[in-house]
Structure 1
């Protein structure tokens, strides 16, 4: 039932996502407004279009509104028809206190003819130190070059973040997540898309219910989970907690503490520098690990077969279990495979 609900949500959101693609470079905005004063926040809400916020403005705030008919570009209508349909919407582009507000809402839901609906998108240009509150029901959200608190959500589009610093919280019900050069506190989740995170640092909390997770050149504390895809990581430093319920785990050039798990695939992990712990839990597949063995380690390895080169070891060695102290003991390393084997430095 849960899967059926997700499919219905995704199919419903798809037309909006398609029609709310980023504006063509040559497309002129339907309306533009400029604001000045003591401004520090922007709030944007629209039901069918995309939202873009860029913090490269030296001063003041510029808001551009773009209007398209449903199923654009196959469904093209005249400017007069656009203006007639806009009468069915409440459009607001104004300042409230220290907040720039841009909203587009239908006046009534009764007798709503989706064929007459419009995709109303907003592009906002702000100074770098700006906070956002963004919501759209069907389009993508793009934010870049900002410092501050960022809160945003979409029901059917993707999230794109670039060069963002601060408290960041984003949600999408059906799209992918892309972030690069972001830092501090990052909390992002999607119900149906993949996650790509690169060149970022801080506290990263990344979750998807139906896609893959790709992590590249991250540092700090990284928590990444998926319910249905694979997890791939390379060049992660600090602390990495990653897991999947249905795919494989592939981690390379990891420096620091690692906790990873899978219920449905194999695991291949390369640790170049040990942190405070290693905890790896595999499912039906094998767990292959490459890691330094020349320092103090408390080993606890289990699987249908365990294979590891040992010297200066004090403990028990069995076909399916190795447990004891390596080089006098130290970093706790626990690696298990359900029905698969565990191989370390083999």
Structure 2
């Protein structure tokens, strides 16, 4: 059994302890010789980063002050650590890193610490991460990743597997990842790029930026705009407080906004299109050679196409088959609806 006790309240013999400059780790422990399969990290005041697939598996501990002076001496850190539990162990393939005050509810801003962890492990690993005061970064991992923060942002790149992340006070950035993505924030924007699979994104207070997504995508915001480009598969998206602008679509689409305008440009229409806009104009651009069934309704509907159309065109409604018919394109709006086919 390989078991490493990195730290218990004070630095143990054999570990390098340095004064902090926010760039140099306070302590580093090598994990070479350990077959790491899972990582568990909890800290009450710092950030967490887990990176996979690199050389020299290790854990780095960063400690700084919270009282406006991040750079403090190792002696001052040792003194303040008397009020903390700080321990890291590696046992039977499981890495545990925990930093928390000894006393529940303890907080003294002048003597508190910001304790962060950077973990470097093999690519195939699962994580369970939590912090109440910092950001979380994950990179180049395969497996199940579960993580949450109450006061920071989430950053993910090159993850494969089940990805479940939550933040109450920060933005979310995910790229080059896939299979099963479930991410939510209560107070920030979401940026997702080059991802594939089942993708669920939710924010209560920010915008959505979607780029190069493929699969079944469900992206919602209660307080921001939505922008998307190069989406394939199926996209369900909505906002209560902003506009929607989508380009280079090759997907089925269900989209709605309660307080903004709407624009969508399709390279090809998927199984269906359903658009609902309560208080803005709608611009819809469809490919010229594809057959679709049209059901468009608004305060004023302005069709702009010269293809083979069978149906009715009225001021507030266009209904019928374009180019022989196909997937249903349904639009409901209280403003102007502009349809362009080219």
Q: Which of 40, 44, 48 is the aligned partner of 1:43?
A: 40
Name the residue aligned to 1:14: none
Name the residue aligned to 2:30: 34
Q: Which of 321, 324, 328 is the aligned partner of 1:325?
A: 321
Write the distance in 1 (CA, Å) between the matches of 2:171 and 2:331.
31
Write the distance in 2 (CA, Å) between the matches of 1:124 and 1:76.
22
Write the distance in 2 (CA, Å) between the matches of 1:115 and 1:102.
24
Name the residue aligned to 1:8: none
- CA change 1:132–1:110 in 2 (3 A) is closer
Write the distance in 1 (CA, Å) between the matches of 2:21 and 2:297.
57
Name the residue aligned to 2:246: 251
Q: Which moved more, 1:283-292 or 1:293-302?
A: 293-302
Q: Which moved more, 1:290-299 or 1:171-180?
A: 290-299
Contact conserved, 1:152 with 1:171, CA < 8 A, in 2?
yes
Name the residue aligned to 1:64: 60
Name the residue aligned to 1:15: none
Write the distance in 1 (CA, Å) between the matches of 2:76 and 2:323.
78
Name the residue aligned to 2:200: 205
- CA change 1:316–1:145 in 2 (3 A) is same
- 1:68-107, aligned counterparts within 5 Å? 68-72=64-68, 74=69, 76-107=71-102
SS at match of 2:140: strand
Q: Confirm whether residue 119 of structure 1 aligns to residue 114 of structure 2.
A: yes
Write the distance in 1 (CA, Å) between the matches of 2:220 and 2:290.
30
Name the residue aligned to 1:262: 257
Write the distance in 1 (CA, Å) between the matches of 2:315 and 2:144.
53
1:237 CA displacement: 1.3
Name the residue aligned to 1:20: none
Q: Confirm whether residue 316 of structure 1 aligns to residue 312 of structure 2.
A: yes
CA deviations 1:54-87 (Å, max 9, x no partner) are 103347x311110001044x35443212101111
Name the residue aligned to 1:139: 134
SS at match of 1:148: strand
CA deviations 1:144-170 (Å, max 9, x no partner) are 011111000000100000111110000
CA deviations 1:195-245 (Å, max 9, x no partner) are 111111111111100001001111112111110000000111111111110
- Moved runs in structure 1, 4+ residues, more than 6 A? none
Name the residue aligned to 1:166: 161
- CA change 1:110–1:154 in 2 (3 A) is closer
Write the distance in 2 (CA, Å) between the matches of 1:81 and 1:239.
55
Contact conserved, 1:33 with 1:93, CA < 8 A, in 2?
no
Structure number having the greater strand percentage:
2
1:25 CA displacement: 9.1
Write the distance in 1 (CA, Å) between the matches of 2:315 and 2:117.
63
Structure number having the greater helix percentage:
1
Q: Which moved more, 1:255-264 or 1:314-323?
A: 314-323
Give 5+ residue unaligned stretches, structure 2.
Answer: 1-19
Q: Confirm whether residue 282 of structure 1 aligns to residue 277 of structure 2.
A: yes
Aligned residues: 320
Q: Which of 330, 334, 338 is the aligned partner of 2:330?
A: 334
Aligned Cα root-mean-square deviation (Å): 1.8
Contact conserved, 2:34 with 2:90, CA < 8 A, in 1?
no
1:322 CA displacement: 1.3
Write the distance in 2 (CA, Å) between the matches of 1:143 and 1:297.
43
SS at match of 2:78: helix
Q: Which of 104, 127, 151 is the aligned partner of 1:109?
A: 104
